[in-house]
Amino acid sequence: MKKKNVRAIFPGSFDPITNGHLDVIERGIKLFDELIIAVGRSPVKNQLFTPEERVEMIAELIDQRKMPGVSVESFEGLTVEYAAGKKADVILRGLRSLTDVQYEFQLAMTNRAVAGIETIFIMTSEQYGFTSSTLIREVASLGGDLSNLIPKSIQKRLKQRLKG
Protein backbone atom coordinates (compact mmCIF):
# COMPACT_ATOMS: atom_id res chain seq x y z
CA MET A 1 0.00 0.00 0.00
CA LYS A 2 1.42 3.37 -1.06
CA LYS A 3 1.79 6.02 1.66
CA LYS A 4 -0.11 9.20 0.94
CA ASN A 5 1.87 12.44 0.91
CA VAL A 6 0.03 14.65 3.41
CA ARG A 7 0.17 18.44 3.02
CA ALA A 8 -1.12 20.64 5.85
CA ILE A 9 -1.48 24.36 6.23
CA PHE A 10 -1.08 26.17 9.53
CA PRO A 11 -2.92 29.47 9.08
CA GLY A 12 -2.70 32.47 11.37
CA SER A 13 -1.78 36.10 11.67
CA PHE A 14 1.53 35.36 13.48
CA ASP A 15 1.82 39.04 14.48
CA PRO A 16 4.36 38.21 15.86
CA ILE A 17 5.12 34.50 15.84
CA THR A 18 5.53 33.09 19.36
CA ASN A 19 7.26 30.09 20.90
CA GLY A 20 3.76 28.60 21.18
CA HIS A 21 3.36 28.79 17.39
CA LEU A 22 6.81 27.26 16.91
CA ASP A 23 5.90 24.46 19.32
CA VAL A 24 2.84 23.60 17.19
CA ILE A 25 4.93 23.78 13.98
CA GLU A 26 7.69 21.52 15.35
CA ARG A 27 5.19 18.95 16.55
CA GLY A 28 2.99 19.27 13.46
CA ILE A 29 5.74 18.54 10.96
CA LYS A 30 6.16 15.13 12.63
CA LEU A 31 2.60 14.32 11.50
CA PHE A 32 2.72 15.65 7.94
CA ASP A 33 5.07 15.40 4.99
CA GLU A 34 4.67 19.07 4.19
CA LEU A 35 3.54 21.99 6.36
CA ILE A 36 2.82 25.42 4.90
CA ILE A 37 2.72 28.23 7.44
CA ALA A 38 0.06 30.47 5.93
CA VAL A 39 0.33 34.08 7.09
CA GLY A 40 -3.09 35.68 6.72
CA ARG A 41 -3.70 39.21 5.55
CA SER A 42 -6.54 40.54 7.66
CA PRO A 43 -8.16 43.87 6.82
CA VAL A 44 -9.99 43.71 10.17
CA LYS A 45 -7.04 43.26 12.54
CA ASN A 46 -4.76 46.14 13.45
CA GLN A 47 -1.44 44.48 12.67
CA LEU A 48 1.98 45.54 13.88
CA PHE A 49 4.03 43.86 11.13
CA THR A 50 3.21 43.67 7.42
CA PRO A 51 2.50 40.22 5.97
CA GLU A 52 5.83 40.40 4.13
CA GLU A 53 7.70 41.14 7.38
CA ARG A 54 5.95 38.26 9.16
CA VAL A 55 6.80 35.85 6.32
CA GLU A 56 10.44 37.01 6.44
CA MET A 57 10.68 36.57 10.23
CA ILE A 58 9.14 33.10 10.13
CA ALA A 59 11.31 32.02 7.18
CA GLU A 60 14.44 33.02 9.14
CA LEU A 61 13.32 30.91 12.12
CA ILE A 62 12.56 27.90 9.89
CA ASP A 63 16.04 28.18 8.32
CA GLN A 64 17.74 28.53 11.73
CA ARG A 65 15.94 25.49 13.11
CA LYS A 66 16.48 23.42 9.95
CA MET A 67 12.88 22.35 9.47
CA PRO A 68 12.61 20.26 6.29
CA GLY A 69 9.15 20.14 4.79
CA VAL A 70 8.13 23.48 6.30
CA SER A 71 7.54 26.57 4.15
CA VAL A 72 5.91 29.95 4.73
CA GLU A 73 3.90 32.30 2.55
CA SER A 74 1.16 34.88 2.91
CA PHE A 75 -2.38 34.65 1.62
CA GLU A 76 -5.53 36.72 1.33
CA GLY A 77 -9.14 35.62 1.55
CA LEU A 78 -10.73 32.53 2.99
CA THR A 79 -8.45 29.94 4.53
CA VAL A 80 -10.40 27.09 2.92
CA GLU A 81 -9.98 28.63 -0.55
CA TYR A 82 -6.25 29.01 0.08
CA ALA A 83 -6.07 25.41 1.32
CA ALA A 84 -7.88 24.17 -1.81
CA GLY A 85 -5.51 26.14 -4.04
CA LYS A 86 -2.54 24.53 -2.28
CA LYS A 87 -4.15 21.08 -2.49
CA ALA A 88 -3.81 20.80 1.29
CA ASP A 89 -5.21 17.69 2.92
CA VAL A 90 -5.73 19.28 6.34
CA ILE A 91 -5.66 22.50 8.30
CA LEU A 92 -3.49 22.45 11.42
CA ARG A 93 -4.62 24.51 14.41
CA GLY A 94 -3.11 24.96 17.84
CA LEU A 95 -5.26 24.94 20.96
CA ARG A 96 -4.33 26.80 24.13
CA SER A 97 -7.43 26.76 26.29
CA LEU A 98 -11.04 25.72 26.61
CA THR A 99 -12.02 29.08 25.08
CA ASP A 100 -10.04 28.17 21.95
CA VAL A 101 -11.78 24.79 21.74
CA GLN A 102 -15.26 26.26 21.35
CA TYR A 103 -14.23 28.75 18.64
CA GLU A 104 -11.96 26.31 16.79
CA PHE A 105 -14.56 23.52 16.89
CA GLN A 106 -17.11 25.81 15.22
CA LEU A 107 -14.55 26.91 12.63
CA ALA A 108 -13.49 23.31 11.89
CA MET A 109 -17.11 22.19 11.43
CA THR A 110 -17.76 25.12 9.08
CA ASN A 111 -14.61 24.42 7.05
CA ARG A 112 -15.58 20.76 6.69
CA ALA A 113 -19.16 21.64 5.69
CA VAL A 114 -18.12 24.37 3.23
CA ALA A 115 -14.97 22.88 1.72
CA GLY A 116 -14.72 19.28 2.89
CA ILE A 117 -11.35 19.88 4.55
CA GLU A 118 -10.45 18.32 7.88
CA THR A 119 -8.85 20.20 10.77
CA ILE A 120 -6.24 18.62 13.02
CA PHE A 121 -5.69 20.13 16.46
CA ILE A 122 -2.50 20.10 18.50
CA MET A 123 -2.58 21.19 22.12
CA THR A 124 0.16 23.68 22.77
CA SER A 125 2.71 22.80 25.43
CA GLU A 126 1.73 23.86 28.94
CA GLN A 127 4.26 26.68 29.17
CA TYR A 128 2.64 28.42 26.18
CA GLY A 129 -1.01 27.84 27.04
CA PHE A 130 -1.62 31.46 27.96
CA THR A 131 0.41 33.05 25.17
CA SER A 132 -1.12 34.95 22.26
CA SER A 133 0.32 37.42 19.79
CA THR A 134 -2.03 40.07 21.18
CA LEU A 135 -0.71 39.52 24.71
CA ILE A 136 2.88 39.55 23.42
CA ARG A 137 2.32 42.92 21.71
CA GLU A 138 0.75 44.34 24.89
CA VAL A 139 3.57 43.15 27.17
CA ALA A 140 6.17 44.42 24.68
CA SER A 141 4.53 47.84 24.50
CA LEU A 142 4.84 48.08 28.30
CA GLY A 143 8.50 47.02 28.25
CA GLY A 144 7.99 43.55 29.74
CA ASP A 145 10.43 40.63 29.47
CA LEU A 146 9.34 38.26 26.69
CA SER A 147 12.49 36.11 26.52
CA ASN A 148 10.60 32.90 27.45
CA LEU A 149 7.73 33.53 25.05
CA ILE A 150 9.23 34.58 21.71
CA PRO A 151 12.53 33.93 19.90
CA LYS A 152 15.30 36.51 20.47
CA SER A 153 15.22 37.68 16.84
CA ILE A 154 11.48 38.38 17.11
CA GLN A 155 11.91 40.17 20.43
CA LYS A 156 14.56 42.41 18.85
CA ARG A 157 12.32 43.29 15.89
CA LEU A 158 9.38 43.91 18.20
CA LYS A 159 11.39 46.34 20.33
CA GLN A 160 12.57 48.17 17.20
CA ARG A 161 9.03 48.42 15.84
CA LEU A 162 7.58 49.74 19.09
CA LYS A 163 10.32 52.37 19.41
CA GLY A 164 9.54 53.83 16.01
Closest C-alpha to 31, from 69, 2, 71, 60: 69
Catalytic residue among 54, 93, 133, 157: 133
Q: pLDDT per residue over 34-46, tens digit each?
A: 999 999 987 777 7
The Cα–Cα gap between 35 and 69 comes to 6
Q: pLDDT per residue over 114-155, tens digit each?
A: 999 999 999 988 888 888 898 999 999 999 999 999 999 999
> Would you state the pLDDT for residue 72?
98
Q: pLDDT per residue over 51-62, tens digit each?
A: 999 999 999 999
Q: What is the mean pLDDT of residues 78-102?
A: 92
The Cα–Cα gap between 141 and 130 comes to 18
**Beta strand extents in 76-147 (DSSP E only):** 90-95, 118-123
Rg (CA), the chain: 16
Q: pLDDT per residue over 4-40, tens digit each?
A: 799 999 999 999 999 999 999 999 999 999 999 999 9
How many residues in total does the chain contain? 164
Catalytic residue among 13, 54, 93, 96: 96
Residue 27 a catalytic site member: no
Closest C-alpha to 6, from 49, 35, 46, 47: 35
Catalytic residue among 42, 45, 147, 159: 45
3 state SS of 58: helix
**What are the boundaries of each domain within the chain?**
7-163
The Cα–Cα gap between 136 and 131 comes to 7
| pTM for the structure as a whole | 0.92
Does 3.40.228.10 match the CATH number of domain 7-163? no
Residue 156 a catalytic site member: no
